[in-house]
Amino acid sequence: MKYNPNQIEAKWQKYWAENQTFAASNNSEKPKHYVLDMFPYPSGAGLHVGHPLGYIASDVYARYKRHQGYNVLHPMGYDSFGLPAEQYAIQTGQRPEDTTAVNIDGGLDKEGNQIAGYRKQLDAIGFSFDWSREVRTSNPDYYKHTQWIFIQLFNSWYNKDTDQAEDIATLTAVFQKEGNAQVNAVCDDAIPEFSAKQWNAYAKETQEKMLLHYRMTYLAETEVNWCPGLGTVLANDEIINGVSERGGFAVVRKKMTQWSMRISAYAERLLQGLSTIDWSESIKESQRNWIGKSVGAMVSFRVNEHPENISVFTTRPDTIFGVTFMTLAPEHELVAKITTPEQKAAVEAYIQKTSKRSERERMADVKNISGVFTGAYAEHPFTKEAIPVWIGDYVLAGYGTGAVMAVPCGDERDYAFANFFKGQNGMLAIKNIFDKDISEAAFGSKDGFQLVDSDFLTGLGYKEGTKKAIEALEKQNQGFGKINYRLRDAVFSRQRYWGEPFPVYYINGLPQMIDPQHLPIILPEVEKYLPTEDGLPPLGNAAVWAWDTTANKVVNTDLVDNKTIFPLELNTMPGWAGSSWYWMRYMDANNQGEFASAEALKYWESVDLYIGGSEHATGHLLYSRFWNKFLKDKGFAPTEEPFKKLINQGMILGTSAFVYRLEGTNTFVSKNKIEAQTVQPIHADVSFVNASDELDIQKFKAWRQDYKDAEFIVEDNGKYIVGREVEKMSKSKYNVVTPDDICAEYGADTLRLYEMFLGPLEQAKPWNTAGISGVFGFLKKLWRLYVDENNGCIVNQDPASKDNLKTLHKTIKKVADDIENFSFNTSVSQFMICVNELSTQNCHSRAILEPLAIVISPYAPHIAEELWSLLGHEGSIAMVSFPVFEPKHLVESEKEYPVSFNGKMRFTITLPLDLTKDQIEAIVMKDERTIKQLEGRTPNKVIIVPGKIINLVG
């Protein structure tokens, strides 16, 4: 009876599915534990062996917690809205919902491509997911709740006094009684003050416009990252090196009317919450930097010959007398107003050039210096001196006020800017206000200086100077103390088709929410997924996309009369909308009435363990915390934070294969024959290469038409040796290894153990298929402890020996400790040691092998289930209690002593550890081997160190 993983795994996967083995209960008396993976976007490429790494780790942990007696929620679903499906729809004309369904469920797409299907691939690896709770963010029964949350955000404002979001009705009640003078809200800047009388006299339309300045989600003209190639706005985290992450298209800055989320209201709570959660310090620091808290002052500079003021936020008000020039962001609204006619052409050219660079690129670029003088001057608040106003791309419109007071003597970037433009029109000599030399560099420290040439601040340091400067600014009404955050409100519109439709229609250009009882508003059919000819988003192509306020349904677009039938929003929500609350839907996934019942939310509370990639640090992980806090304020989420513990798994890298083509020819040279020749390295499919790095030349030639007649210069043994390089696993690098292939050849348990064995979970590590055979051999050796090829199950009732028990309990302790500490790779090493020791001990005792099957079950569940069944048990091993470690079995009662004569070891003797020196000496001296060695002599000295050595001297 040989180990047959394919047969065993199919049997138990079928059993788990039919018996709903891993279905969690919302009404269990067991303690709860919620283990969650970041759900995948279902691409047509399917899974490669790098994708399941985190899933396997979370599955080991979830299975272990079930063995510990927990009611474990371990669900899975799909983040199924996104740009790739839409890009594919544009290229092929296939409906995104069709390709997404095939990518998940498998089958042939309309192009004739065979798609494996995420669900089949995941099932084949033996994950203990509760599939009864599966979610797909692109399904209407899911996104109707995303639309509902959007409506809650629209109907809320952030009250600074209570430090939470509240219903907009509480704000309008204040307006009706008191106006807005005493309202302490997170809102837009420069809102006009009005009294209760004025508010009550406003037309409804005016009131609605005013409320948009306060709502948690609002329409506003915003500076955005526009990607013409994708036809949509992108978030900062969707841009890499100035181009779109998806497709590598150019991105420019432009102003558009967009929906935005007032995440800035939660900046301080997002910061403070980091101290309450068990996340890596690197992720926390990424979020701290992204939120970017700064303490300082707002300063107002009057612009000469203009009615406008330039507002500046500075963290160093103590350096106010060192201001040499000012710099505005090129997008700043005042630039066009204050630029002189002489400088207009240069300023406009610079603005056009800057619009092609993303904010991230501008922030990261500290080497290149650029800027243009506007010709305008501002007035110093104290000295009244004229300060030249420049524009420069190192200042961002969305950070602070989009303007800086440049103090070159105290800031390296200002120092470099001033020196770069030294002597040019509009650049004054650097003012030094420190008692320090700045001839070589700026003095940026907040300590160890006294201010000079600073009027009433002269002689002061940082703390005293800051306090006194703010007092003086407030006294003359030109500034005040302020805490500022880098975190900006999140743009929430996308000019795409494949995303959640907004539950919004427009009356006279003002947004109106559709009553939640009429949700979902379902994505309409369109003929084309591209923007319309007049530049509207793809939903502008929809023939049925208008809201009938009488019938409360979507009707034909050409029926719009702006009386009872109105246009619907044409933008869709961004990719992060559905993923910002999905963990709560898993708690009650089949609830048709609400996103989750209060009872389910109270029971599961939050995610105990969350595993996913660190690339989501300032995207999904921040937006999720924001939405969770908002829903907590509104009485829906039970906790302030969504994820108690977060682990970021590392990447499994591919080992690429390279062939070397002689430049200008179709001749390929083997790696060791290149020498001084000029060659072009070309990726070859790794499936053509064996474990010895030898290329199958015939397969390579048949791979592509242009290689059909290729010639090869081979090694002396006739083989072509490829080069190897470790890099990201990707279809474009032809280094992808699919889990399907590994499972088919070696079994899922081998794949699971091997991925855990590769190295620490958080680290990146290269994949090497050649190494997997060792793990497969281990499983076969484990099998042979229980089963003989000819005689079937050979487990007996023999009592366990001391060595057997020691081996087992070492393993129980090591595995339990490793799982609790997420050190999965060392557990696999311990399994191998354990099986080797038990094989040497010729152990087939049920007392040892039965608990061993449970211990290995989280890692290799299929073979564990089969062995459990062979041992005579009915049902699954999944819920059986984890064996209890007993320390007594690791306590040594005997010691094998080396017995030496004049320092040379001659034999060993095993003695109880509780013997005294005299007892040990008496036993050794009577031993026949000692008598033979001494040949009648009496040793001069007998050295005994209990538990260590015995040495007879002389």
Strands (E), 702-802: 711-713, 723-728, 765-766, 787-788, 792-793
Alpha-carbon span 111 to 374, nearest angstrom: 56
Strand partners, 247: none
The number of CA neighbours under 13 Å toward the Cβ of 616 is 22
The closest of 871, 834, 837 to 856, measured between CA atoms, is 834
Please state, in angstroms and rounded to a whole number, the distance separating the CA atoms of residues 932 and 936: 8
Question: Cα separation of 339 and 345, whole Å?
Answer: 10
- Separation CA 172–CA 196 (nearest Å): 10
Amino acid type, 607: V
| CA 601, 602, 604, 606 torsion-angle sign | positive
- If you ran DSSP here, which 8-state letter would residue 279 be given? -
Q: Which two tokens stand for residue 81?
A: 């809205």
- Determine how many CB atoms are found less than 10 A away from the CB of residue 522: 11
d(CA 386, CA 392) in angstroms, rounded, equals 19
DSSP for 260-290, written as a single string: EE-GGGGHHHHHHHGGGSB--HHHHHHHHHH
Neighbours of 946 (CB within 10 A): 16
Return the exposure string of 756-774: e unless at least 16 CB atoms fall within 10 Å of the residue's CB, then b.
bbbeebeeebbbebeebee
Q: Say if residue 731 carries a ligand binding annotation.
A: yes
Q: What is the C-alpha separation between 818 and 811, in angstroms, rounded?
A: 10
Token code pair at residue 79: 């983040």
Q: How far apart are CA 229 and CA 601, in angstroms?
A: 42
Q: What is the CA radius of gyration of the chain?
A: 35
Q: How far is CA 699 from CA 164, 705, 737, in A?
A: 64, 12, 17
Element (H, E) at 648: strand 643-648
Give dist(CA 648, CA 38) in Å, integer.
10
Listed in order, strand segments (DSSP E) in 96-183 are 107-108, 114-115, 156-159, 164-167
Q: Report CA dihedral (470, 471, 472, 477) to the nearest 10 degrees.
A: 80
**165 close to 152: Cβ distance less than 8 angstroms:** no
Q: Angle formed by the axes of helices 5-19 and 739-746, to 10°?
A: 110
Q: How far is Cα 811 from Cα 808, in angstroms, rounded to an integer?
A: 5
The torsion angles phi and psi of 80, rounded to 5 degrees, stand at: -95, 0
CB-CB contact of 572 with 497 (8 Å): yes
- Report CA-CA distances (Å) from 767 to 109, 193, 742, 946: 30, 64, 12, 48
| Whole-number Å distance between alpha carbons of 30 and 73 | 12
Question: What's the CA gap between 323 and 417, in Å, rounded?
Answer: 13
Amino acid at 931: I
Q: How far is C-alpha 795 from the geometric centre of its chain's CA atoms? A: 46
Q: Count CA atoms closer than 13 A to 488's CA, side-chain side.
A: 18
State how far the Cα of 499 lies from the Cα of 539, in Å rounded to an integer. 11
Give the DSSP H or E segment for 293: strand 293-303
For residues 540 and 558, the answer to whether their CB atoms sit within 8 Å is: no
Which residues, at least 6 apart from 425, have a Cβ–Cβ distance to it below 8 Å? 373
Q: Which two tokens stand for residue 330?
A: 């090129």
Which residues fall in the annotated binding site for ATP? Answer: 731
Which residues fall in the annotated binding site? Answer: 731
